[in-house]
Amino acid sequence: MVYLIAILIYLLALAGVGIHKSGQVKTQADFAVAGRTLSPWVMVCTMLAVWIGTGSIVANAEEAYRTGMAALIIPTGVLFGMILLSLAASRVRNIEATSVPEIIGSRFGQIARALSVVALILAYMVIVSYQFNAGGAVLEVITGDKSPVAVQVGDTFSSAQIQKGVLVYFPQTDWKGSDAVRLERTQPNGDQIVTIRVVEASSYFDAKEQTALSPDTVATKINTKARIVPGTPVEADATYRIAALPENGHLEHIEPILTKQKATIIAACFIIFYTMLAGLKSLAYTDIVNGTVIMVTMVVTFPLYWIKAGGWSGMEAAFAQMGDKPHHMQFWGVYSATDLVNFLLPIFLLILGDANQYQRIFASRSAKGARTAVTTMIFVAYAIELLIIACAWVAASQTPDPDNGRYILIHAAKHLMPTALGCVFMITVVGIIISTADSFLLVPATTFIKDVYLNYINRNASEKRVIFLSRLLVVVFGLVAYGVSLMFAQSTGFFRKALYAYTIYGAAITPCLVAALFWNRATKQGAIASILAGTATALLWSWLGKDCLPTWATQLDAVLPAIILSVTALIGVSLITPGKPRPQGNG
């Protein structure tokens, strides 16, 4: 309860700041780029807070729990992306734009501008959606579970309850083998037997792979619980009745106090409300606190986890005892070359062209301040990303239950930290999620206003009307993102969601944005071809499936083919079409 109270106090404070700052928003520039008043330190804090979001604190941490020390290579994409972004910072600030599509449109025309708006909104709706999911996850973990209830023969459960994993199997101490739960099912009627394989930790991954081929089989390690989720599809209004209990364990009915769906709605409502109040005017200055707290908290947290784990030798012993994490103390040899391309390239492409980072650059007081801030971010962002992954890796050695790996740092803050520091860390996580979600929600709204409404619909709209419509679009896009979050809620992990969104944006927008800034020979036809090729490949690659792709290509995510086709289209079409290069500011 203390964690929830601390977070509620923090959220009320944020709401107060947002309400106060909303009265200072008089123009579209105030709402979109904070009146171009940000100092270098404020820029560093707000750029850090918007970048270190769910993709870092949840997705990268989740991957670190899965693979161990090897995940420390993931921030390499951030490092090189930030280095190149720092070289463009002064030139970008001198353009005096308010959105990335505006830069693209000023160089390549209205069609390229409109297409970049579409690609940006597609990618950012996915990113905002899993921020909502992550905010809900934090609330769900913090509030905890209801008191477990022993399951008896004859107890009934809805299909929705079963699919959420409320039926939990606990094997007998040190027992291994096969057990079963028999369920009587309606729609379609009949018995359904769920087999539970309890194996040695060293055999867990092999067992998981085998059970993946059998929809009504689950695997777990010795002395570890398993959620009973039948894989055979049934009607949404089906019911299950417990017909026979397992012989070598017992079942408990465990439900969260706050369900994931309700928690996600609460998170989404607050994020939409806060973004709507004052836009970047409120975000930038609350991010001073968020950015500073992120830096301090991560620096303090890592040595505490390290000491608690018993250092290197303690972690080695812990991972060896778990059995299912044989490579967690290795840096090299865990990821293949294909994995590195799939993981690093989307991050690199996003940060090099991220509209959020550019929006902060637009909001800088000067080109010199923008260059200083982005240069500082090279080191700060890379260090914090490394610390997040390192904390998750060390915490993994103290968290044997895979159920807790999806939200490892949230779980660790609650169970491995002193209460006071755990509260600070939880507040930090909430601040990170809110800041990132707000920023990725704000950009589509301000982009649509600038690049669609003011460009095509009403060029002479008053500032009051523009601000009203900007706030209305925050709500509209927030609702769209919530709809997307429902599709992603049970599908895949946060790490994969993040890479998917980064790929759409990075392949569609980053190549022609870089060309708009640095390649005078690029033409509008080339830019249009690049955006279409990148977007289509990113969206369709996984849909093509293994049957339509050569064997070697099935291991690749969409990012490499998407960026190759996007850049090829940009260069190839530009070289065969006449262009009239337009100078862009002063570097």
Q: Which fold has domain 33-144+260-576?
A: Sodium/glucose cotransporter (1.20.1730)
By the 10 Å C-beta count (0-12 exposed, 13-18 middle, 19+ buried), 182 is classed as middle
The lowest-confidence range among 92-101, 320-329, 339-348, 461-470 is 92-101
Task: Locate 381 and state its tokens.
Answer: 């962002």
Q: What is the DSSP letter of 489?
A: T
Is 90 exceeded by the pLDDT of residue 240?
no
State the average pLDDT over residues 74-93: 87
> Is there a contact between 436 and 15 (Cβ–Cβ < 8 Å)?
no
The lowest-confidence range among 25-39, 93-107, 383-397, 528-542 is 25-39
State the average pLDDT over residues 91-108: 82
Tell me how many degrees the CA angle 308-393-57 measures, rounded to the nearest 5: 110
The separation between the first and the last C-alpha atoms of the chain, rounded to the nearest angstrom, is: 53
Residue-level pLDDT at 585: 44
Is 80 exceeded by the pLDDT of residue 577?
yes
* 165: three-class secondary structure by DSSP: coil
CA dihedral defined by 206, 208, 212, 216, rounded to 10 degrees?
A: 130
Residue-level pLDDT at 232: 67
**pLDDT above 70 coverage of the chain, percent:** 88
Check residues 177 and 159 and name the one with the higher pLDDT. Answer: 177
Per the DSSP assignment, residues forming a β-bridge with 167 are: 253
Residue-level pLDDT at 32: 47
Q: What is the DSSP letter of 449?
A: I
Mean pLDDT of the chain: 83
Is 70 exceeded by the pLDDT of residue 449?
yes
Residue 431 pLDDT grade (very low, low, confident, very high; cuts 50, 70, 90):
confident
Check residues 526 and 88 and name the one with the higher pLDDT. Answer: 526
Residue-level pLDDT at 36: 56
Residue-level pLDDT at 544: 66
Nearest-angstrom CA–CA distance, 187 and 340:
45
Check residues 313 and 161 and name the one with the higher pLDDT. Answer: 313
Per the DSSP assignment, residues forming a β-bridge with 5 are: none
Is 90 exceeded by the pLDDT of residue 548?
no
Is 80 exceeded by the pLDDT of residue 35?
no
Q: What is the DSSP string of 281-347?
A: HHHHHHHHHHHHHHHHHHHHHHHHHHHHHTHHHHHHHHHHHH-S-TTTT-SSSSS-HHHHHHHHHHH
Residue 75 pLDDT grade (very low, low, confident, very high; cuts 50, 70, 90):
very high
Is 70 exceeded by the pLDDT of residue 421?
yes
Residue-level pLDDT at 8: 83
Tell me the HSE value of 577 on the side-chain side, using a 13 A CA sphere: 18
Nearest-angstrom CA–CA distance, 27 and 248:
68
Check residues 210 and 326 and name the one with the higher pLDDT. Answer: 326
Q: What is the DSSP letter of 451?
A: I
Residue 218 pLDDT grade (very low, low, confident, very high; cuts 50, 70, 90):
confident
Tell me the HSE value of 328 on the side-chain side, using a 13 A CA sphere: 31
Residue-level pLDDT at 528: 95
Cα distances (angstroms) measured from residue 402 to each of 184, 205, 232, 516: 29, 11, 23, 46
Is 60 exceeded by the pLDDT of residue 281?
no
The lowest-confidence range among 107-121, 388-402, 464-478, 539-553 is 539-553
Residue-level pLDDT at 532: 95
The lowest-confidence range among 229-233, 340-344, 507-511 is 229-233
Which ranges of 144-245 would DSSP assign to H, the alpha helix? 159-163, 204-211
One-letter identity of residue 330: Q
State the average pLDDT over residues 267-272: 88
Residue-level pLDDT at 584: 47
The lowest-confidence range among 252-256, 286-290, 520-524 is 286-290
Residue-level pLDDT at 138: 82
**pLDDT above 90 coverage of the chain, percent:** 24
Residue-level pLDDT at 553: 65
The lowest-confidence range among 167-171, 495-499, 518-522 is 495-499
Is 60 exceeded by the pLDDT of residue 491?
no
Nearest to 325 by CA among 393, 413, 420, 240: 393
pLDDT in tens, 460-488: 888 788 888 888 898 999 999 998 888 76
Nearest-angstrom CA–CA distance, 28 and 467:
6
Residue-level pLDDT at 391: 94
| Stated pTM of the model | 0.81
State the average pLDDT over residues 82-88: 88
| Residue-range domain boundaries for the chain | 33-144+260-576, 149-253
Is 70 exceeded by the pLDDT of residue 329?
yes
Check residues 51 and 332 and name the one with the higher pLDDT. Answer: 332
Is 90 exceeded by the pLDDT of residue 372?
no
CA-based R_g, the chain, Å: 25
Residue 274 pLDDT grade (very low, low, confident, very high; cuts 50, 70, 90):
confident
Q: What is the DSSP letter of 553?
A: G
One-letter identity of residue 195: T
State the average pLDDT over residues 257-286: 77
Nearest-angstrom CA–CA distance, 230 and 183:
10
Residue-level pLDDT at 568: 96
Helix (H) or strand (E) holding 150: strand 149-150
Helix (H) or strand (E) holding 4: helix 2-22
Residue 217 pLDDT grade (very low, low, confident, very high; cuts 50, 70, 90):
confident
CA 392 to chain centre: 16
Which ranges of 53-198 would DSSP assign to H, the alpha helix? 54, 61-67, 76-94, 100-108, 110-143, 159-163
